[in-house]
């Protein structure tokens, strides 16, 4: 599985740690930056990762900013992206099981690196359940097509 990663200045350090963690475990990662602590605008990085997901250049995306909220908002503007903010393992698991989330966002100010690794591992390993959840995803796709 190929994963796109991106962060702003508040999240770059955690992003670097998670990208290295994934690479060490054999994942194929495309890192869209940022690559340092200089102030940048999170929409630029969220958009790059979201487009990589929606264009099927990658299967999943990972976005990190200070709170995770901004990245999540921007990523969800892209049709076909189902970004979910997770600050714990349960929300990460449910995002995959129920929502088939294809982008994970986290807040570097709220999640320690060890917990972030656990959240990421659970999110990557958890399959989508389908079933009753599928009709809800289809409704989301209908909303995207209408442009509401």
Please report, for the domain that includes residue 121, its CATH number. Answer: 3.40.1400.10
pLDDT at 44: 98
Lowest-pLDDT choice from 45-49, 95-99, 134-138: 134-138
Mean pLDDT of 17-29: 97
Instruction: For residue range 41-51, list pLDDT tens digits in order.
Output: 999 999 999 99
Sheet-wide strand order for 60-65: 28-31, 2-7, 60-65, 103-107, 83-85
For the chain, the distance separating the N- and C-terminal CA atoms, rounded to the nearest angstrom, is: 32
What is the domain range of residue 24?
2-146
**Catalytic site positions:** 65, 98
Share of the chain above pLDDT 90, in %: 91
Number of domains into which the chain is organized: 1
Share of the chain above pLDDT 70, in %: 99
């Amino acid at each position: 599985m190929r994963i796109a990663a991106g962060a702003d200045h508040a999240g770059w350090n955690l992003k670097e740690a998670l990208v290295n963690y994934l690479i060490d475990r054999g994942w194929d990662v495309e890192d869209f930056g940022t690559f340092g602590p200089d102030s940048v605008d999170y929409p630029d990085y969220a958009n790059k990762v979201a487009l990589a997901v929606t264009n099927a250049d990658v299967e999943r995306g990972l976005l990190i900013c200070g709170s995770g909220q901004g990245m999540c908002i921007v990523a969800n503007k892209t049709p076909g992206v189902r970004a979910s903010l997770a600050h714990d393992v349960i929300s990460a698991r449910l995002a995959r099981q129920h929502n088939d989330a294809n982008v994970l966002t986290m807040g570097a100010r709220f999640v320690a690196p060890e917990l972030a690794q656990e959240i990421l591992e659970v999110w990557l390993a958890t399959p989508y359940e389908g079933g009753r959840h599928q009709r809800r995803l289809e409704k989301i796709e209908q909303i995207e097509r209408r442009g509401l």
